[in-house]
Structure 1
Amino acid sequence: MGVRLVEITDENRDAVCALKVRPSQERFVGSVPKSLNDAVQIPEAEPWCRAVYDGDEPVGFVMLSWNVPPGRPGILGPYFLWRLLIDGRFQGRGYGTAVLDLIVGLVRADGATELLTSHHPAEDGPGPFYRKYGFVPTGEIDGGEPVLRLDLSHSP
């Protein structure tokens, strides 16, 4: 698996925007077009978006709030995993974990000591995936979603 993060450009935008989770998961994660629109609408969240590729094929999408300065109301950070989407055709192959490994390496290299995320609280939602990776609940709720924290202060 040659997973890499690729900038979204005019050349790959349509292919990336066509990526979709399984229909049963649509309530858990915003689509790529919605995510890109959110990035434009909420610039104070310092959105950082990348396509997830395996070789030459787009398999997913990731969006973070990247190094948000403290004190911005309603914005969690400084590093917040805002969206992680693996296309339904490619799920169950380790891409989600591979993407988290890449993201953790990048934000740790940028000086981060923690990575935050939140998730839809349903039983069949992504919570178990994040907890298995090492995220732990903070006790905080953001927009009805529990906030999770991954400690990056220790070397991998």
Structure 2
Amino acid sequence: MTTRIRLVEVTDANRAAVAAVRVHPSQERFVAPVEKSFQDAEDHPEGNPWYRAAYTDDVPVGFVMLSWDVTPGPGLLGPYFLWRLLIGAEHQGRGYGTAVLDEVVALLRAHGVPELLTSYVPGEGTPGPFYLGYGFVPTGEVEDGEVVLRLDLSSRP
């Protein structure tokens, strides 16, 4: 069964509902909340933040934020970097995370983007295994204590 996800622009009309999406408490040390993502996007325009809510039907189930076509530099990975991905605790385990990444990959490929980077903090309960299972591979780099991963977009169906 295919999990249906739509990436929806965050507007004044849906912002509160999107900000209410929360990960499981055990994951909070690995994934910042949506409201922090909004603040990070505002505080770091050099990251060229692109973000969307992940909806199934009319329900926001997650959030994704990328750095979009940036020049890599100190503290800035890219040009395309998966800055934030979260699925609400009550919606996890249903394939939504994979579906969101599938949508992001399709969008990036449509723009001719060859690779996507992300990173994670190592530790018990980290999202690292999810990313590795999706097809990301370690680059060998560590940035601010986070393991950097790369996804070759030509490797995804």
* Normalised TM-score (structure 2): 0.95
Secondary structure of 2:154's partner?
coil
| Alpha carbons 2:23, 2:86 under 8 Å: kept | yes
Shift of 1:95: 0.2
Q: Which runs of 5+ in 1 are unaligned?
A: none
Match of 1:11 in 2: 13
Q: Which runs of 5+ in 2 are unaligned?
A: none
Shift of 1:2: 2.6
1:107 maps to amino acid: L
Sort the Cα spacing of 1:155 and 1:85 in 2 relative to 1 into closer, same or farther, 3 A: closer
Match of 2:77 in 1: 76
Structure 2 residue aligned with 1:64, among 63, 66, 72?
66
Shift of 1:108: 1.2
1:11 maps to amino acid: A
Match of 1:99 in 2: 100
Number of residues of Structure 1 aligned to a counterpart in Structure 2: 155
Secondary structure of 1:153's partner?
helix
Shift of 1:107: 0.9
**CA RMSD of the aligned region, Å?**
1.1
User: Aligned partners of 1:18, 1:71: CA distance in 2, in Å?
Assistant: 32
Residues 1-156 of structure 1: matches in 2 within 5 Å?
Answer: 1-68=3-70, 70-154=71-155, 156=157
Shift of 1:109: 1.1
* Normalised TM-score (structure 1): 0.96
Identity of aligned residues (%): 65
1:128 maps to amino acid: P
